[in-house]
Amino acid sequence: MRSTALCIWLLATSVGPAQAQWILQNSGTTADLRGIDSAGAGVAWASGTNGTVLRTEDGGYLWQRCTIPPGAGHLDFRGVQAFDANTAIIMSSGKGDLSRLYKTTDGCQTWKLIFTNPDPDGFWDALHHASDGDLYVLGDPVQGVFALFVSQDSGTTWHAARDSGREAVPGDGSFAASNSELASDGPYLLFGTGGSPAAHVYLSGTKCSSPPVHPHASATSSCTVEWSKAGVPVGSGTASSGVFSIAVRPFTSRQGLFTAIVVAVGGSYDKPDDASRTAAFSTNAGKLWTAAQTLPHGYRSSVAYDPALKAWIAVGPNGTDISTDDGRNWHAVHPQPALHQPAGSSRDWNAVSLPFVVGPRGRIGLLDPQALTP
């Protein structure tokens, strides 16, 4: 996560990450917002229903309502990935060609349609900018296989991934709740699922054939991308439950191995106050999962890690939770009257990209540095 603003605030306050709270922003819209991406240096983009796209260049003081792409006023933009103040790609979610990608390079004055879902029965769930020009789009299973589309030139051209191992368990799918079902760990991808008897996280890996042993043969080996999946103790095994969001914190182990902490949150979106099976964590880059000991206090649609805070923040309809021990234990964040925080500022959120959070009816929040207490 990019957290320039948070680093500045932490230097100014010199306090620890025991609490976190949101300062409500004026978005100028009543659209339901599910896409948010912070590009750093005060720049962020948000997206939502009715073709809505918003942009700020000043840390949320002013949110600009962007031009709606031609013919896109009926689309639900569930995802956005920001490159800078002028460049961003937005993703709409819907059946078939209602799933689309548009790109702007002039601060959202104009948009170009760059890709449309080629699968009539497909439905896109997440757009992810991994690194440099590499972009990925995750979709629900088509003919029993999770859809994945790849661009290696910042969205100019796209192709369908043909890697093996993305076959779906019957009933399994992903959720377009917060554009955070798809994440990356270095060169590898991970995505969460739900809707079947057990939730999963799928992981990409590399499979290489052994080099030939004949002395006159080439010593090179052939490597391909291959996916595997791991069961995750999140959700209740219903069509409305499972993993809704994943986030990654890379680190180097004591043995000097490069790996990652991965946190998954979710639950049942039709039971927002059900606090059972709402979070899990992995200490080996998503291969094995453990249920959180103290769980978030309801369904959570989005989670993010901030290295400046050294904390994970998860949001959902009934509130915000924070973990400072890599997802093992969570505690609820409550508004602090002494800081003049509105009673409902911790709840009704869909997606987080620190320091911003977005929700229904045009809700946007900015992390409050004064809420960080010793």
Q: How many domains does the chain have?
A: 1
pTM for the structure as a whole: 0.90
pLDDT the model gives residue 132:
84
How far apart CA 349 and CA 326 sit, in angstroms, is: 21
pLDDT the model gives residue 337:
64
**Residue 214 covered by a domain:** no
- At 147, the amino acid letter reads A
What residues make up the domain containing 69? 4-209+220-371
**Residue 304 covered by a domain:** yes
- Please write down the HEC assignment for all residues of the chain: CCCHHHHHHHHHHCCCCCCCCEEECCCCCCCCEEEEEEEECCEEEEEECCCCEEEECCCCCCCEECCCCCCCCCCCEEEEEECCCCCEEEEECCEHHHCEEEEECCCCCCCEEEEECCCCCCEEEEEEEEECCEEEEEEEEECCEEEEEEECCCCCCCEECCCECCECCCCCECCCCCCCCEEEECCEEEEECECCCCEEEEEEEEEECCCCCCCCCCCCCCEEEEEEEEEECCCCCCCCEEEEEEEEEEEECCCCCEEEEEEEEEEECCCCCCCCCCEEEECCCCCCCEECCECCCCCCCEEEEECCCCEEEEEECCEEEEECCCCCECEEECCCHHHCCCCCCCCCCCEEECCEEECHHHCEEEECHHHCCC
How far apart CA 114 and CA 97 sit, in angstroms, is: 12
pLDDT the model gives residue 309:
85
- At 23, the amino acid letter reads I
Tokens of 99: 């799933």
**Residue 215 covered by a domain:** no
Instruction: Give the neighbor-by-neighbor strand order of the sheet with 22-24.
Output: 22-24, 364-367, 356-358, 351-353
Q: How many CB atoms lie within 10 A of CB 290?
A: 13
**Residue 257 covered by a domain:** yes
pLDDT the model gives residue 341:
67
- Output Rg (C-alpha) for the chain, integer angstroms: 20
Q: CATH number of the domain that 22 lies in?
A: 2.130.10.10
**Residue 229 covered by a domain:** yes
Torsions phi, psi of 62, nearest 5? -135, 130
Sign of CA dihedral 308, 39, 177, 63: positive
**Residue 97 covered by a domain:** yes
280 contacts 292 by C-beta, under 8 angstroms? yes
pLDDT the model gives residue 373:
44
262 contacts 286 by C-beta, under 8 angstroms? yes
pLDDT the model gives residue 3:
42
**Residue 297 covered by a domain:** yes
pLDDT (tens, 9 = 90+) of the chain, 374 residues, equals 334 444 433 333 333 344 568 999 999 999 999 999 999 999 999 999 999 999 999 999 999 999 999 999 999 999 999 999 999 999 999 999 999 999 999 999 999 999 999 999 999 999 999 988 899 999 999 999 999 999 999 999 999 999 999 999 999 999 999 999 999 999 999 999 999 999 999 999 987 766 555 544 455 557 788 999 999 999 989 999 999 999 999 987 767 778 899 999 999 999 999 999 999 999 999 999 999 999 999 999 999 998 888 999 999 999 999 999 999 999 998 876 655 667 788 899 999 999 999 999 999 999 986 654 43
**Residue 362 covered by a domain:** yes
pLDDT the model gives residue 94:
98
250 contacts 199 by C-beta, under 8 angstroms? no
